[in-house]
Amino acid sequence: MAYNNGFPISYPQYYPPQQMQQPMPQPQMQPPQVPQQTAQSGLIWVQGEAGAKSYLVAPNTTVQLWDSEAPVIYLKSADQSGMPTMKILDYKQRDQAQGQPGIAPQMPDRDYVTHDELKDLEDRLLRRFDDYSVKAGKDHEHKSGSNNRNAATNKV
């Protein structure tokens, strides 16, 4: 008998096809069944925090999980290695009459003046300047006039 690397050399054998035998069923992997339902709106509803913690998230993804028992949204993420993290957000319903919380109504800032206010201020300043100029001019003439007289008398 001939040997190839220590193993006996065998000749191929012919096996006739069996046409009546059915193929063997292949076992198929079933995805894990998640009891949570996804509505047609795209929301994923879970039952409480335990349901959110047990929800499987693929690596590098984030999902919003809406609690069906309380006004809570869970933001569950998984990093590249598949390690999950979860943020818990509480929400509440508000009336439309309340307006948006956290945003104060827009009141005009008083850090600016209108054109009319600026013009009024300019007019008041010009009047004061003119009054000051007139008074300063009279005082200057009065003082300079008396100085001229004193200078004239000193020369004589």
Tell whether 83 and 119 lie within a shared domain: no
Residue 6 is predicted with a pLDDT of 63
Q: Which of 83, 78, 79, 72 shows the shortest CA–CA distance to 50?
A: 72
pTM over 0.75: no
Tell whether 88 and 42 lie within a shared domain: yes
Angle at 19 between CA 18 and CA 22, to 5 degrees: 90
Does 26 reside within a domain? no
Residue 10 is predicted with a pLDDT of 67
Does 23 reside within a domain? no
Does 17 reside within a domain? no
Name the residue range of residue 77's domain. Answer: 36-94
Domain count, the chain: 2
Q: Which of 42, 80, 39, 48 shows the shortest CA–CA distance to 63?
A: 42
Does 58 reside within a domain? yes
Tell whether 58 and 88 lie within a shared domain: yes
Residue 72 is predicted with a pLDDT of 94
| Cα–Cα distance, 52 to 75 (Å, whole number) | 9
Tell whether 90 and 59 lie within a shared domain: yes
| Cα–Cα distance, 46 to 38 (Å, whole number) | 9
| pLDDT mean values, one per 10 residues, the chain (156 residues) | 61 63 62 53 89 93 93 94 94 75 63 86 90 73 55 50
**Helix (H, G, I), strand (E, B), or coil: what is residue 143?**
helix
Does 27 reside within a domain? no
Does 16 reside within a domain? no
Tell whether 119 and 75 lie within a shared domain: no
Tell whether 41 and 72 lie within a shared domain: yes
Residue 42 is predicted with a pLDDT of 82
Q: Which residue has the tokens 């598949």?
A: 82
Does 133 reside within a domain? yes
Residue 38 tokens, joined: 């996804």
**Helix (H, G, I), strand (E, B), or coil: what is residue 46?**
strand
Tell whether 45 and 72 lie within a shared domain: yes
Does 103 reside within a domain? no
| Sign of the Cα pseudo-torsion (128, 129, 134, 139, in order) | positive
Residue 114 is predicted with a pLDDT of 87
Tell whether 49 and 88 lie within a shared domain: yes
